[in-house]
Amino acid sequence: MVRKCSVVGRSGSVGLHSFPLDLEIRRQWLRSIGVQDNSQLPPGAVVCNQHFTRDSFANMMEFEMGYSARLHLKREAVPTVALP
């Protein structure tokens, strides 16, 4: 299965982030991307970097300076950018 961004109309397949396990934050993600219910989410669903603001990432500086290969989300980050 090709993992791709869960946000409708987006085909990003780089910088993907799994849904958080924390139920409250997970609910905020679902609301953000327009999914009504957790059960509508396919297993392994992911959201790409494009939907998060710069300050959602714990290591933006390291990433930009080339010390990190990929961005890591802060625990409480919620996608807010480029949503339907």
28, 32, 50, 59: which one binds Zn ion (CB under 5 A): 50
Of 2 and 65, the one with the shorter C-beta distance to Zn ion is 2
Of 9 and 43, the one with the shorter C-beta distance to Zn ion is 9
**In angstroms, what is the minimal distance from the CB of 22 to Zn ion?**
20
User: Which of the ranges 38-46, 47-55, 56-64, 68-76 carries the binding residues for Zn ion, by CB under 5 A?
Assistant: 47-55
Under rule CB under 5 A, residue 33 binds Zn ion? no
What b/e readout covers 5-33, taking b as 16+ CB neighbours within 10 angstroms?
A: bbbeebebeebbbebbeeeeeeebbbebb
User: Which of the ranges 3-11, 18-26, 36-44, 53-61 carries the binding residues for Zn ion, by CB under 5 A?
Assistant: 3-11
**CA gap 61, 36 in Å, rounded:** 34
E-strand stretches of 1-84: 16-18, 46-48
Give the residues lining the site for Zn ion (CB under 5 A): 5, 7, 10, 12, 48, 50
